[in-house]
A and B are shown apart, each in its own frame.
Chain A
Amino acid sequence: GAVVSQHPSRVICKSGTSVKIECRSLDFQATTMFWYRQFPKQSLMLMATSNEGSKATYEQGVEKDKFLINHASLTLSTLTVTSAHPEDSSFYICSARRQGEYGNTIYFGEGSWLTVV
Chain B
Amino acid sequence: DAKTTQPPSMDCAEGRAANLPCNHSTISGNEYVYWYRQIHSQGPQYIIHGLKNNETNEMASLIITEDRKSSTLILPHATLRDTAVYYCIVRVAEYNNNDMRFGAGTRLTVKP
**Residue A81 lies at the interface, judged by CB distance under 8 Å to chain B:** no
Residues of chain A within 8 A (CB-CB) of B93 are 102-105
- A44-B44, A93-B43, A105-B46 known; A34+B99 contact, CB < 8 A: yes
Chain A interface secondary structure, helix, strand, loop or mixed? strand
**Residue B104 lies at the interface, judged by CB distance under 8 Å to chain A:** yes
Residues of chain B within 8 A (CB-CB) of A4 are 43
Bound complex: CA A108 to CA B102 (Å): 13
Residue from B42, B45, B95, B101 in contact with A104 in the complex, judged by beta carbons closer than 8 Å: B95
Q: Taking the nearest CB of chain B, how far is it from the CB of A52, in angstroms?
A: 13
A32 touching B102 by the CB < 8 A rule?
no
Chain B interface secondary structure, helix, strand, loop or mixed? loop
Q: Taking the nearest CB of chain B, how far is it from the CB of A35, in angstroms?
A: 10
Count of B residues near A, CB < 8 Å? 23
Residue from A46, A103, A111 in contact with B43 in the complex, judged by beta carbons closer than 8 Å: A111
Binding site for B on A (CB under 8 A): 4, 6, 32, 34, 36, 43-46, 49, 91, 93, 95, 97, 99, 102-111, 113
Q: List 29 A-B contacts (CB under 8 A).
A: A6-B43, A32-B98, A36-B102, A43-B102, A43-B104, A43-B105, A45-B102, A46-B99, A46-B101, A49-B98, A91-B41, A95-B43, A95-B44, A95-B100, A99-B95, A102-B93, A103-B94, A104-B93, A104-B97, A105-B46, A106-B46, A107-B46, A108-B36, A108-B43, A108-B44, A108-B45, A108-B46, A111-B43, A113-B41
- With contacts A43-B103, A97-B98, A108-B36 known, what are 9 further pairs, Cβ within 8 A? A34-B99, A34-B100, A99-B95, A103-B93, A104-B97, A108-B45, A110-B42, A110-B43, A111-B42
